[in-house]
Amino acid sequence: MRWNSLPALTLLLTAMPRHVLSFIGLILLAFTFGCGPEPVQTETPEPEVGETTPAPETPVASDEKKSPDADTASQVPYENPLTAEEQQAGWLTLFDGHSLFGWESNNEEVNWHVADGAITADSGPTGLLVTHVPFADYELRVQFRMEAAGNSGVFLRTTKQPKEVTADCYELNIVDDHPSGFLTGSFVGRQKTEAPISGSGDWKTFRVLAQGRRFEVFLDDQPILDYSDETDSFRPTGLIGLQKNAGKIEFRDIRLKPLSLDPLFNGEDLTGWHTVPGSKSEFSVVDGAIHVVNGQGFLETDQTYGDFILQAESETHAERLNSGYFFRLNKGTEEAPSNGYEVQIDNGFDGDRHHPSNQGSGAIFRPGIPARYVVANDNEWFTTTLVASGPRMMTWVNGYPVLAWEDTRKPDENPRRGLRTAAGHISLQGHDPTTDVSFRNLRIKELP
C-alpha cells in the first residue's frame, strides 16, 4: 500500500489503539534526544611503517601563533625565483611573492600586506615584520623602494621587539635624513657610511654578508659598509626584520643563503653515523651519496643537535617513495628507533600540488603539519632546508618555503607526543621494503 497523502496518514493514526500510539511516540523521542544506536566507530589508521610507539596525532593548539595570511598562503600560486643552481647551492626565498607566509608582525596596527609582488606598508605606527625563525651567518639580498622623506630599515639578527638599537639588533637604515647622520646603509648607533646615501627613489638592492662579528653591506653591488662588532653585546643570531617607520615602504625578492654550515657526511664513508639496532635497511655510500634500500631502518648521527639549520639533498629513485629526516631523537634502539620529529620526504600529491597525498616533502609528519605545496619531483635531486629553534620550525624545499610551525603542545621527551627542545640525534629513514633513496651534501650549523 502506498501512503502518498497527509489525509491517508491521518486516517491510519486515528485508527490505531492509544497504547500503540504511545509506544511510537517514545521511540521517536529516543531518537530525537540521542538515545538511539551508537554511531559506528571508525578504526584508527595504522601508524606509518617504520614508526615505533607513535602517539595519536595531536591537533595544533587553537592559540598557535600563525603568520599573517596563514589561512590563504597554502593556496597561493607557486613561483620560485631561484635558479636550479641557486637551489642546489642552498639559497632560500623568504618571500613567495604573494603572501606573508613565514613572516609575522610585532605590531598589528601596521598595515603589512602584499601588493604588486611586494611586501608593503604605508600606515600605522612604527613596527617590524619579522621572520618566523632566526638565522646566524648568511648572505642576504633584498630589494626595497621607499617614498621620499620616508623612514625604514632592514633589521639583522634582531629580537622580535628590539628596544635598544645597539644591543637587540643591527639596524641597516633606509632613510633620506637622520638627526644623527645614520643615513641609508648605516648601522644605526654603530657605524655610518663614508658618503651620504639617499634611500628613496626607484628600486634599490641591499646585499649583506653576515659572518660572525663581521658585516659587509653592498648597495646595488657597490660596497658601502664594513663593520665588525667587537662589543660585549655582539649578537651571533636573530630574526630578520623589515621596518615600517614613516611613509610608504616596499620590499621584494628577499632571499638568503645560510653560511658557515659544517658537513654531516664526508662523501666517502659513514664516519659519524651508525645504524640503529634492528634496522632492515641497507645503508652504503654510492657515488658520493648515502644510498638506502630496503627497510624499515635508520642511520643516525653520533652527535646530537638542538637548535640548528640543516640542509641536505635527496633523490627518490621511484615514484611515491617515502623517507624522511628525523631530529631531536633519543638514541635509537630496536624497540624505539625513531621517536623524534620527522621532516617528510614524499612527493606524492592528489591532482593538485597544493594537496599532498602524504603531507608532502618538507612536512613535519607527526603531529601532522603538512607542506603547503609539493615542490619536488621523484627521480630528481632536491634540497630540503630545516631551521629548528626552540618550539619554532620552518622548512624549505628547493628554497621555497613550505612550512612554518610553532609546537605549542605540552613538553614531552618524545616529540611524537609533545614539544621537545632538547638536543637529539638526526637520522635518515629507510621506510619499507620499497625504499630506494639517496642523500648527499648534508650540512648543518648549530644556532648560537
Domain end: 258, 281, 298, which one? 258
> Does residue 278 sit in the same domain as residue 332?
yes
For the CA atoms of 213, 218, 224, 225, the dihedral, rounded to the nearest 10 degrees, stands at: -10
The pLDDT confidence band at residue 24, using thresholds 50, 70 and 90, is very low
CA angle at 374 for the pair 322 and 280, rounded to the nearest 5°? 10
* Peptide bond between residue 296 and the one before it cis (omega within 30 degrees of 0): yes
Grid coordinates belonging to 71: 589561512
Residues 280-339 have pLDDT tens digits of 999 999 999 999 999 999 999 999 999 999 999 999 999 999 999 999 999 999 999 999
Task: Give yes or no for a contact between 366 and 338, defined as CB atoms under 8 angstroms apart.
Answer: no
> Does residue 208 sit in the same domain as residue 278?
no
Helix (H) or strand (E) holding 128: strand 127-131
> Does residue 219 sit in the same domain as residue 293?
no
Q: What integer pLDDT is reported at residue 2 of this predicted model?
A: 35
- 177/184 Cα distance (integer angstroms): 9
- Write out 284-321 in H/E/C secondary structure: EEECCEEEEECCCEEEEECCCECCEEEEEEEEECCCCC
> Does residue 95 sit in the same domain as residue 199?
yes
> Does residue 388 sit in the same domain as residue 365?
yes
Q: Please determine, for residue 49, whether its predicted confidence score (pLDDT) is greater than 50.
A: no
Q: Please determine, for residue 19, whether its predicted confidence score (pLDDT) is greater than 80.
A: no
In a domain, 45, yes or no: no
> Does residue 241 sit in the same domain as residue 297?
no
Domain that holds residue 299: 262-446
In a domain, 28, yes or no: no
Mean pLDDT over residues 78-95, rounded? 97
Number of domains in the chain: 2
In a domain, 138, yes or no: yes
> Does residue 224 sit in the same domain as residue 355?
no
Q: Please determine, for residue 52, whether its predicted confidence score (pLDDT) is greater than 80.
A: no
CATH number at residue 311: 2.60.120.560
In a domain, 313, yes or no: yes
Domain end: 235, 258, 281, which one? 258
Residues 406-445 have pLDDT tens digits of 999 999 999 999 999 999 999 999 999 999 999 999 999 9
In a domain, 20, yes or no: no
Q: What integer pLDDT is reported at residue 75 of this predicted model?
A: 80
Nearest to 97 by CA among 78, 110, 72: 78
> Does residue 252 sit in the same domain as residue 268?
no
In a domain, 242, yes or no: yes
The pLDDT confidence band at residue 170, using thresholds 50, 70 and 90, is very high
Residues 241-286 have pLDDT tens digits of 999 999 999 999 999 999 999 999 999 999 999 999 999 999 999 9
Q: Please determine, for residue 378, whether its predicted confidence score (pLDDT) is greater than 50.
A: yes
pTM: 0.85
> Does residue 162 sit in the same domain as residue 199?
yes
Total length of the chain: 448
Q: What integer pLDDT is reported at residue 74 of this predicted model?
A: 56
> Does residue 331 sit in the same domain as residue 189?
no
Q: What integer pLDDT is reported at residue 368 of this predicted model?
A: 87
Q: Please determine, for residue 72, whether its predicted confidence score (pLDDT) is greater than 70.
A: no
In a domain, 44, yes or no: no
> Does residue 152 sit in the same domain as residue 274?
no
- 441/289 Cα distance (integer angstroms): 8
> Does residue 233 sit in the same domain as residue 287?
no
Domain end: 258, 284, 307, which one? 258
In a domain, 58, yes or no: no
Mean pLDDT over residues 119-125, rounded? 97
